[in-house]
Amino acid sequence: MPNERVALYSRNSIDYAVSVFAIARAGAVSVPLNFNLGPDEVAYILEHAECSAILAEEQLVPVAIEAMKRADLVDDITLTVAFGDVPPRVDGTWVSFRDLADSAAAGLDDAVTSDVAFLMYTSGTESRPKGAVMTTGALLAQYVSMVVYGEMSSNDRELHVMPLYHAGQLHCFLLPDVYLGATNVLMDGTAPADIMQCVQEHRITKLWLPPTVWISMLRHPDFLRYDLSSIELAYYGASAMPVQVLRELLEVLPNARFFNCYGQTELGGVTTMLGPDDQFRKSGSCGLPTLHEETGIVDADGRHLGVGEVGEIVHRNPQATLGYWRDPERTEAVFRGGWFHSGDLGYLDSEGYLYLVDRVKDMIKTGGENVASREVEEVIFAHPAVAEAAVVGVADPRWIESVTAVVVTRPGFHLEAAELIDFCRSRLAGFKTPKAVYFVGELPKNASGKILKRELRDRYSGAPQ
């Protein structure tokens, strides 16, 4: 089945990890799917990627079957495999992954660097996801870059918590670890107590989590009861880590060296990294370009900007996608001028360190001024009663968009909206100060730990202030 697309629809498991190598060994292309997707969303990707096979965990097989029906692909998808020790009972055409692995044929050709290895579907801001075409060579360049800049070694014991369909966990940590011969522990789910128990039990030395999960661990009432002293390498990414939270983490995890990883799926996962020695010297920075990487800042016309000037962050590296599957228009648009256009706003300082100002779509335009949501969030996190926060722009008839904060308070703390607004006003310009604050039990997040700001904007549009 060389070059055929094989969908992977499962939570983290040994079978999932093994299947990635099995698909590559067969010369086929892995198409990881978010396990939270429903039948219509799965159907779209199966049809768009022109998949001829699907591997799914047993619990998700009914959703996969419904998706195949809705996409009218029941006859076109010729191989259906279920993870687990026994095949599912819902459909007699499904076979067990373990049985298939035991009967696998030998003598397959080795992959070459130009082979397409993955279609990584990204959600983006559009209504339909895009399939980033990743070659074996591009991903190997990414793995080497992570090993060098992430200070990785074969002695590492890493816990993999985030979903393997996510480029960060799969291509920046699990596969580089396998490349090195490190020890890997797979876990399904991000429950803070489960993570801490696993770290303690397996003496985990390396851990990558988005800031939202680091925060949920730090704020857990039993945090100090667990022995997390084995953690030596701690990575964060997917969103910004509030400086106050980082200070707290370093106090309670004194053996850990923290790294900030910034990048995108289309670029292999990580393009810049802020190392342990720069966490406070270059507070708020995404770091320096990693191995093989060129990073620049351009204006709306594609002209490169100077030190300190804010514009769109662009990249050029051998890890980059070949383009978007079956979408030449968007491929041409994102690679205009020979650089990959990230959609992020930022600037470079005099030493070449990258600072992310905001996503273009998250920049709040209020009363003729631009407000970076991250700047406001940093101030809110400095309040002792705040556990989590997200700042968004909500449509407003007077201001066009009003700066709006959505906050989760720490257990045992009480906080009024007026108090937090006054707190921000004493530290920010008036136009940056939230005009409304809403308190919630938890913030909406995707499976990768990113806060769903679009959902918050929709939820609070038209809400009384």
Task: Look at residue 43 and give its three-state secondary structure.
Answer: helix
Q: Is residue 60 in a domain?
A: yes
| 266/388 same-domain check | no
| 329/381 same-domain check | no
| All residues at 6 or more sequence positions from 298 whose CB lies less than 8 Å from its CB, including other chains | 304, 305, 311, 312, 314, 337, 339, 341
Residue entry with tokens 């067990």: 96
CATH number of the domain that 283 lies in? 3.40.50.12780
| 275/373 same-domain check | no
Q: Is residue 64 in a domain?
A: yes
Question: Mean pLDDT by 10-residue block, N- to C-terminus, for the chain (465 residues)?
Answer: 91 96 93 92 95 95 94 92 68 80 66 87 70 96 97 98 94 97 96 97 97 92 96 89 91 96 94 96 94 96 96 96 96 96 94 88 84 90 95 88 96 96 94 96 86 91 71
pLDDT in the model for residue 354: 97
| 167/300 same-domain check | yes
Rounded to whole angstroms, what are the CA distances from 390 to 218, 234, 358, 420, 433?
18, 23, 13, 13, 13
Taking the C-alpha atoms of residue 387 and residue 402, their distance in angstroms, rounded to an integer, is: 23
| 103/155 same-domain check | no
Taking the C-alpha atoms of residue 212 and residue 16, their distance in angstroms, rounded to an integer, is: 25
CA atoms in the 13 A half-sphere facing the CB of 244: 15
How many domains is the chain built from?
A: 3
Question: Which of 328, 359, 390 is the endpoint of a domain?
Answer: 359
Q: Is residue 465 in a domain?
A: no
| 187/273 same-domain check | yes
pLDDT in the model for residue 330: 93
Taking the C-alpha atoms of residue 6 and residue 268, their distance in angstroms, rounded to an integer, is: 19
| 147/93 same-domain check | no
pLDDT in the model for residue 92: 64
| 344/376 same-domain check | no
47: left (phi over 0), alpha (psi -120 to 50) or beta: alpha
Asked if 119 and 30 count as a contact pair (C-beta separation under 8 A), the reply is yes
Asked if 89 and 62 count as a contact pair (C-beta separation under 8 A), the reply is no
pLDDT in the model for residue 125: 42
Identify the domain containing residue 102 by its residue range. 5-111
Q: Is residue 386 in a domain?
A: yes
Candidates 41, 179, 64, 51; CA nearest to 118 is: 51
Taking the C-alpha atoms of residue 406 and residue 428, their distance in angstroms, rounded to an integer, is: 17
Q: Is residue 129 in a domain?
A: no
Identity of the amino acid at 462: G
| 423/328 same-domain check | no
| 246/322 same-domain check | yes
CATH number of the domain that 101 lies in? 3.40.50.980
Q: Is residue 126 in a domain?
A: no
Q: Is residue 430 in a domain?
A: yes
Question: Which of 359, 379, 400 is the endpoint of a domain?
Answer: 359
Question: Which of 78, 111, 144 is the endpoint of a domain?
Answer: 111
| 338/410 same-domain check | no
Q: Is residue 265 in a domain?
A: yes
CATH number of the domain that 387 lies in? 3.30.300.30
| 154/237 same-domain check | yes
Say what the alpha-carbon torsion angle 221, 226, 227, 229 is, to the nearest 10 degrees. Answer: -30
pLDDT in the model for residue 1: 66
